[in-house]
Amino acid sequence: MNIIELRNINKIYGSGNNQVHVLKDINLDIESGDFVAIIGQSGSGKSTLMNILGCLDTASSGDYKIAGEDLAGMSPDDLATLRSKYLGFIFQRYNLLATLNAEENVELPAIYSGLKSQERKERADQILSNLELGNRIDHFPSELSGGQQQRVSIARALMNGGEIILADEPTGALDSKSGLNVMAILQQLNDQGHTIILVTHDQNIANYANRIIEIKDGAIISDIRKAPNKNKKEEFPPKDNSRNTFAYLKDQFFEAFRMSIQAIKTHKLRSGLTMLGIIIGIASVVSVVALGKGSQEKILEDINSLGTNTIVVMPGKGFGDRNSSKYKTLTVNDAELLARQSYVDSTTPAVRTSGTLTRENISVTGQLNGVGDQYFDVTGLKPEAGRFFNKEDVKSGSAVVVIDQNTKEKLFPNTTDILGKTIIFNRQPLKIIGISQKQNASFGTTDTLTMWSPYTAVMNRITGDRNISSITVKVKDNVSMTAAEKNVIRFLTAKHGKEDFFTVNTDSIRQTIESTTNTMRLLISCIALISLVVGGIGVMNIMLVSVTERTREIGIRMAVGARRNSVLQQFLIEAVLICLIGGFIGVLFVFGIGFLFSMFVQAFTMSYSATSVILAISCSTLIGVIFGYIPARNASLLNPVDALCD
Ligand code: ADP
Ligand code: MG
């Protein structure tokens, strides 16, 4: 039975005036089990014919049947399946993959046909030992002689059965001894039943064949049978439909994954540099978000320490009014009247004064705040020792004081039990009844000595003044802050006859700060995102170069049966892996930065969110897919013959 049938095959390269008619109406039948040599001068069209026979290229017109299957209308993937089922190639220049060792090169066709890993290895080793390469299975092509490499490529041709072996000038690059060896092997394979089709320009090589076909200028000019075909078969291997099962696809994915890792390992420097772009991109996105969030949290915490639901009324025209200390417009009476308003929960006047603080032989400057008893509730300040003053203390104006940690350290460096002791502020004795916990560094500096006394005590005993520095108005829970603020302003303006004060609403400060920091964060994130995109373009660039550089590899993979999807998958996985690894390193990098940051900056920490990390990782995966797709697609669309001929 004929394993190959060609009818009126024409091949025309180019178009218009540049047309070259290379094959002219070729009609050819080849019996299964035969040994055929195609001979002709250089440029006569032998390789072109061979590529068509090998389904690496398609004819411009004519019919081709292989083992009874008509190739007309077959897709590139169908042809790949056909190649892996029937055909084994032996090229003049071996075409082994330099990054794979002998065993892996031989395994390649079986990977694409879906043979299990264990069986594959065993079979590859068996074939290699049959070809006397048993002791070379883990050698790379560069570590093998030309003859050995050609034997590896013969082993590869046999891996999937090699029903038909196509050899294009198989001895062309070899010394005569290795050449004889290769011919002996081909002879042997033919004796075992393989159909051998050999292309050569050398009559001596052609003489090994049973049948010699000579072509000249793309046409057959002679066809001579020298010996009978002893291995004629009437049956061909059964069709396999194993290629669409889930197990096959899973296997293919795993293999593509393995090959991608291998490729990344082989091109370490290049992969590393590509990753660098992603690492920097991801690291900047995640750390910018973490920094922004950390500082925002810190600022909001500071604002919360001013109290929620509060409006602060201060004399003057607003923050930054240099004369504000000269305004003496707010009085305790204002606070008391405001407290009676229906929308007000309570008010607390505050007087601020600085002065000299003495204790035995120590004399320092400190700030004394005269406040109401609710002050501590509103601000959330907690006592570390002792107590804070109460309503009674405020009412009676008792000379008691709560001091902060700074004051304690300055005045009582070596004493622990200081409650009940007396300090002198501007010549007035004040009894210490409590010590506050260390406060966060708010807007002010941390080394100020701060003390709190009832405002009545401060006004009566120290300043001797009816005017106060601010009124903190706590608004009832169910009242809108803006409405309350408007009312406070209206009330005080009416009382004073003019607006000689200003109000600060903590809610509106919070909102302003939240929205500004959000805007800033968005802005910086955008910049960071751009660097991520630049990183992605870097990946695409490298992958494009990689595809061009690895055209031959792609051609070889396709020749041994890789389908377009397998190639696409492999390059895509490679791109995604590079981005993913880069993403992970980037995130690790960020945690490193955060650690360093926390060592040098105490004011606030970077606040990582799981969302930003997950987002970053998915972002890098997406970049891998998007920027890896075009190069991967380019690779998969390559024509095997074009990829091989470079
Ligand atoms: P051989 O293998 O017998 O030396 P080829 O089959 O390689 O010959 O080439 C036969 C002819 O086809 C040559 O004249 C060559 O220039 C031409 N040819 C081969 N490939 C191409 C191509 N891709 N585009 C245009 N012409 C080609
Ligand atoms: Mg040729």
Task: Please check whether residue 251 lies inside any domain of the structure.
Answer: no
Identify whether residues 101 and 34 lie together within a single domain.
yes
Tell me the two tokens of residue 361. 């032989």
The pLDDT value given to residue 52: 94
Residue 1 confidence (pLDDT) above 80: no
Give residue-wise pLDDT tens across range 322-377: 665 666 788 888 888 888 888 888 888 888 888 888 888 888 888 899 988 878 87
Neighbours of ion ligand 2 (CB under 5 A): 47
Ligand index nearest the alpha carbon of residue 15: 1
Of all atoms in ligand 1, which is nearest to the CA of residue 642?
Answer: 23
For ligand 1, atom 13: residue with the closest CA: 43
Task: Please check whether residue 80 lies inside any domain of the structure.
Answer: yes
Identify whether residues 99 and 183 lie together within a single domain.
yes
Task: Please check whether residue 12 lies inside any domain of the structure.
Answer: yes
Give residue-wise pLDDT tens across range 238-288: 655 556 678 788 888 888 898 888 888 888 888 888 888 888 888 888 888
Instruction: Find out whether 571 and 635 touch, Cβ atoms under 8 Å.
Output: yes
Identify whether residues 478 and 427 lie together within a single domain.
yes
Q: Distance, CA 635 to ligand 1 centroid (Å)?
A: 24
Of all atoms in ligand 1, which is nearest to the CA of residue 168?
Answer: 2
Give residue-wise pLDDT tens across range 511-567: 777 788 788 878 877 887 787 788 778 878 887 888 888 888 889 999 999 989 888
Q: Distance, CA 290 to ligand 1 centroid (Å)?
A: 62
Give residue-wise pLDDT tens across range 52-93: 999 999 999 999 999 888 998 899 988 998 898 899 999 988
Ligand index nearest the alpha carbon of residue 645: 1
Q: Distance, CA 79 to ligand 2 centroid (Å)?
A: 22
Q: Distance, CA 361 to ligand 1 centroid (Å)?
A: 106
The pLDDT value given to residue 245: 76
The pLDDT value given to residue 239: 57
Task: Please check whether residue 225 lies inside any domain of the structure.
Answer: yes
For ligand 1, atom 24: residue with the closest CA: 13
Instruction: Find out whether 161 and 180 touch, Cβ atoms under 8 Å.
Output: no
Identify whether residues 216 and 185 lie together within a single domain.
yes
Identify whether residues 354 and 443 lie together within a single domain.
yes
Which residues does ligand 1 sit against, CB inside 6 Å?
A: 13-14, 20, 22, 40, 42-48
Identify whether residues 75 and 214 lie together within a single domain.
yes
Give the domain range for residue 338.
Answer: 328-499
Number of domains composing the chain: 3
Radius of gyration of the chain (CA): 44
Q: Residue 153: which CATH number?
A: 3.40.50.300
Ligand index nearest the alpha carbon of residue 19: 1
Residue 574 confidence (pLDDT) above 80: yes
Of all atoms in ligand 1, which is nearest to the CA of residue 51?
Answer: 6
Work out the average pLDDT over 293-318. 77
592: left (phi over 0), alpha (psi -120 to 50) or beta: alpha
Distance, CA of 521 to CA of 529 (rounded, Å) = 12
Identify whether residues 81 and 114 lie together within a single domain.
yes
Of all atoms in ligand 1, which is nearest to the CA of residue 20?
Answer: 26
Please state the φ and ψ torsions of residue 93, each to the nearest 5 degrees: -105, 35
Q: Distance, CA 54 to ligand 2 centroid (Å)?
A: 14
Q: Distance, CA 42 to ligand 2 centroid (Å)?
A: 7
Question: Rounded to two decimals, what is the model's pTM?
Answer: 0.70
Q: Distance, CA 22 to ligand 1 centroid (Å)?
A: 7
Identify whether residues 194 and 169 lie together within a single domain.
yes
Exposed/middle/buried for residue 348 (C-beta within 10 Å: 0-12, 13-18, 19+): buried
Alpha helices, H only, 57-202:
76-86, 102-113, 117-130, 146-159, 176-191
